[in-house]
Amino acid sequence: MPVKVKMSTLRTYIDALLDYSKYPEITSHYNSLRMVREIIIKEQYSGGTQTKVSSFFTPIWPQSAPSQTSASQPGTSG
């Protein structure tokens, strides 16, 4: 079973390879590496949107029905 690697790690490695593109061995694969890098970036950003911190920590209270206790108790006035 292959080891699972983070996309950000792969992107860092490919960026490093592209930085050393002065070598003829890497230059011949430059376009392929750019294509792989582009795919990784698309994968990173297609995972969904990140929630905002302010909305993440906002308490969400379920809407409750009006309390029936006051209507069901007999009135003391009178």
pTM over 0.75: no
Q: What is the pLDDT of residue 36?
A: 85
**pLDDT tens-digit series, residues 17-70:** 778 777 777 777 888 888 888 888 888 778 765 556 665 556 666 666 555 555
Domain ranges of the chain: 1-45
Report the alpha-carbon distance of residue 19 to residue 12 in Å, rounded: 11
H or E segment to which residue 14 belongs: helix 7-19
Which tokens sit at 75? 């009135």
Which tokens sit at 50? 């990140």
Check: CB of residue 30 under 8 Å from CB of residue 18: yes
